[in-house]
Amino acid sequence: MPLRSMTGFGRGEASASGLRVEVELRTLNGRFLEVRVRGLSEYPGLLFRTEEKLRSAFHRGTVEAAVRLTPLPGTAEKSVDLELARVYLADLRTLQAELGLEEKPGLSHLLALGVFQEKRLDEELLWSALESALSEAIEEAQASRAREGQALREALLSECGEMKKLLEKAEELAQQDQKIAEEMLRKRLSDLALLDPARVNAEISAFLARCDVREELDRLRAHATRFLELLSEEGPVGKELEFLAQEMAREAGTLAAKAYGPELAEIALRLRIGAERLREQARNVE
């Protein structure tokens, strides 16, 4: 399965038993999977089956489905609710007697009260058409998400590639910064007439340990490598991509705080900005 965006749209249509079934799907960004279905409140069984089918098709984001059931021309069937008609007629006669009305209740009054009702459709027949329309809408929405996903993948590859280049430069600068920091500290300690070699070496070791950014660089490289691997993997990877980008931003922030030289600090800032861009884009990935 290719990388997919969480935004997409799809439509599907089918008919059965004199009824046209139309489904419109809209999918949006979301941290978790949320399914919303409108138009099936009178058919709770169909509502449940529709939600289950959508949950099996999508893994992340908000999925909104609108279902329209429209009788085809000349096919609407109605039936008379005789029990309801008897109750209405009795009530109308009581009302006529109580109010002393001359007009007797008749068929026109019962029709106005709605004793004719549309026959309830067989849910299994209706599900057959609904499932067909739903499948068509899902297929179209997934194709839309895949197209956007390809564009997202290219953008993420480009951004992550730039970050790996910055990491290479940061590794070079980190080695240089360590040497410069050591030389400057030795000179300062020498100027303070702190001549005990053991004390000098201890102070230098402690300072360099605080400025050592190798762990941050190693973790940044590992996260970036895994990020690139995920872009070629099958299945929903959006959550892991977002997590890795968040971790890269955190490591870049630590790198900036520990950087000794201005060049390394600037690169660390650029790495953090790049990681934030990755995270923002990863939020759109299923």
pLDDT in tens, the chain (286 residues): 678 999 999 999 998 877 889 999 999 999 899 999 999 998 899 999 999 999 999 999 999 999 998 877 654 556 666 777 777 778 778 877 877 777 878 777 666 666 566 555 678 888 999 999 999 999 999 999 999 999 999 999 999 999 999 999 998 888 777 777 666 666 666 665 556 666 656 666 666 566 678 889 999 999 999 999 999 888 899 999 999 999 999 999 999 988 877 888 899 999 999 999 999 999 999 9
Q: Do 134 and 254 belong to one domain? A: no
On whether residue 180 sits in a domain, the answer given is: yes
Are the C-beta atoms of residues 174 and 217 closer than 8 Å to each other?
yes
273 shares a domain with 230: yes
Residues 156, 265, single domain; the answer is: yes
Residue 49 domain-assigned?
yes
- Asked if residue 182 and residue 100 are part of one domain, the reply reads no
Q: Are residues 50 and 106 in the same domain?
A: no
Q: Do 128 and 229 belong together in one domain?
A: no
pLDDT number for residue 173? 87
Enclosing domain of residue 97: 78-117
Indicate if 155 and 190 belong to the same structural domain.
yes
Find out whether 279 and 249 touch, Cβ atoms under 8 Å.
yes
In this prediction, residue 5 carries a pLDDT of 93
Residue 1 lies in a domain: no
Tokens coding 121: 């459709």
**Cβ within 8 Å of residue 195, ≥6 positions away:** none
Both 29 and 130 in one domain: the answer is yes
> What does the pLDDT read at residue 131?
95
Please indicate, yes or no, whether residues 52 and 104 belong to a single structural domain of this protein.
no
Judge if 139 and 246 occupy the same domain: no
Q: How much is the pLDDT for 64?
A: 97
48 domain-assigned? yes
**What is d(CA 89, CA 20) in angstroms, rounded to the nearest whole number?**
36
Nearest to 68 by CA among 118, 134, 125: 134
Our count of domains for the chain comes to 3
Give the CATH number of the domain where residue 17 resides. Answer: 3.30.230.10
The pTM (predicted TM-score) of the whole model is 0.71
- Is residue 82 located within the same domain as residue 54? no
| Within-domain flag for 90 | yes
What are the respective helix, strand and coil percentages of the chain, to the nearest 5? 65, 15, 20
CB 213 within 8 A of CB 174: yes
Position 133, amino acid = A
Place of tokens 């839309």: 144
What single DSSP character describes residue 260? -
- What residues contact 69, with CB distance under 8 A and at least 6 apart? 19, 20, 21, 39, 126
Alpha carbon distance 88, 81 (integer Å)? 11
Q: Residues 15, 36: contact at Cβ < 8 Å?
A: no
- Check whether residue 65 and residue 101 sit in a common domain: no
- The verdict on residue 3 lying in a domain is no
Rounded Cα distance, 70 and 19, in Å: 6
Residue 2 included in any domain: no
